């Protein structure tokens, strides 16, 4: 079941908290893409097909949405929770003109680093607690602009068959890591029929980080989502999300975000509320 809570609606920009509680692994019925916007995931994973091109969307990779296409969604491992930032054509086109030349426009994956992820979660927190609409607009439009500016200039358009094939292989690996975070590089490589070296190389080209860094980033994002849900016990959290102990959680989270788990737990506690 898909539900959405509108958090911001001002000056041609809307911010909606979207939750799919019981995703289905098969493809949904097609639906038209009507709006410009950016979708950022806080938890879970889903597959998205737009005009025949498929991608995996998770807390490390959101997407830029461009109107005019037709999309289908599938959930291979349950539901998800994401934030949809829809932007009017008048607001979106100048930003796209600045950062994306015409040959690179379309449905593009956004690499979500720690800074964008924390700004995203902080934006949702502020919106839930009734922050000033002008402040929320400025924060949201700044975050969309940053996500656009961070698009890798080295990405190959989805239309090239070789690039499409590489992306599908990398997406398959990302799904496998979500299902079993402890799979080794050799196990992942066998799954997609590549050597560990080749898989490691194309994964970094596609995602901008190594498989081990991707795995660690996912664990950090899962920990942040648990903070959103009100988790207080850092030792239990560390084990639950795949770290060896609390000290390991602290080292990785500090390296990823620049802040300790305790600090982030306090920062994100304001998101906690009953649904």
On whether both 142 and 243 belong to a single domain, the answer is no
pLDDT (0 to 100) of residue 107? 55
Q: For CA atoms 148, 200, 253, 56, give the dihedral sign.
A: positive
Query: Could you tell me the CATH number of the domain that includes residue 220?
Result: 1.10.10.60
One domain for residues 70 and 187: no
Do 43 and 25 have their domain in common? yes
Question: Which band of pLDDT confidence, cut at 50, 70 and 90, is reported for residue 262?
Answer: very high
Residue 193 structural domain: 161-207
Segment 195-220 mean pLDDT: 87
Rounded CA-CA distance 30/181 in Å is 31
Is 90 exceeded by the pLDDT of residue 196? no
Residues 196 and 219 in one domain: no
Residues 10 and 108 grouped into a single domain: yes
Contacts of 115 by beta carbon, 8 Å cutoff, 6+ apart:
146
Write the DSSP string, 134-196.
HHHHHHHHHHHHHHHHTS-TTPPPTTSHHHHHHHHHHHHHHHHHHH-TT--HHHHHHHHT--H
Encode pLDDT of 2-18 as tens digits.
889 999 998 888 999 99
Q: State the total domains in the chain.
A: 3
Encoded tokens for 15: 């911010």
Do 33 and 93 lie in one domain? The reply is yes
Whether residues 26 and 67 fall in one domain? yes
Indicate the pLDDT class of residue 135, thresholds 50, 70 and 90: confident
71 by Cβ neighbours in 10 Å (0-12 / 13-18 / 19+) ranks as middle
Decide which of 189, 207, 225 is a domain's last residue: 207
């Amino acid at each position: 079941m898909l539900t959405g809570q509108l958090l911001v609606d001002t000056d041609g920009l809307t911010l909606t908290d979207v939750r799919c509680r019981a995703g289905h692994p098969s493809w949904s019925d097609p639906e038209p893409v009507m709006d410009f916007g950016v979708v950022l995931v806080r938890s879970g994973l889903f597959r998205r097909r737009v005009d025949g091109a498929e991608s995996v969307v998770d807390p490390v990779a959101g997407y830029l949405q461009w109107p005019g296409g037709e999309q289908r969604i599938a959930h291979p491992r349950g539901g998800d929770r994401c934030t949809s930032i829809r932007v009017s054509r008048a607001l979106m086109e100048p930003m796209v003109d600045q950062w994306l030349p015409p040959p690179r426009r379309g449905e593009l994956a956004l690499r979500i680093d720690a800074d964008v992820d924390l700004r995203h979660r902080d934006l949702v927190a502020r919106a839930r607690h009734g922050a000033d609409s002008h402040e929320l607009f400025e924060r949201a439009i700044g975050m969309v602009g940053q996500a656009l500016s961070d698009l890798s200039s080295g990405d190959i358009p989805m239309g090239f068959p070789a690039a499409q094939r590489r992306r599908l292989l990398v997406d398959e690996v990302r799904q496998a890591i979500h299902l079993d975070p402890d799979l080794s590089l050799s196990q992942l490589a066998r799954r997609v029929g590549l050597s560990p070296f080749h898989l490691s190389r194309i994964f970094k080209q596609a995602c901008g980080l190594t498989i081990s860094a991707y795995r660690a980033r996912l664990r950090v994002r899962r920990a942040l989502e648990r903070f959103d849900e009100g988790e207080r016990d850092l030792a239990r959290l560390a084990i639950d999300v795949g770290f060896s102990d609390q000290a390991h959680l602290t080292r990785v989270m500090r390296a990823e975000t620049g802040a300790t788990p305790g600090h982030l737990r306090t920062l994100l506690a304001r998101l906690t509320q009953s649904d």
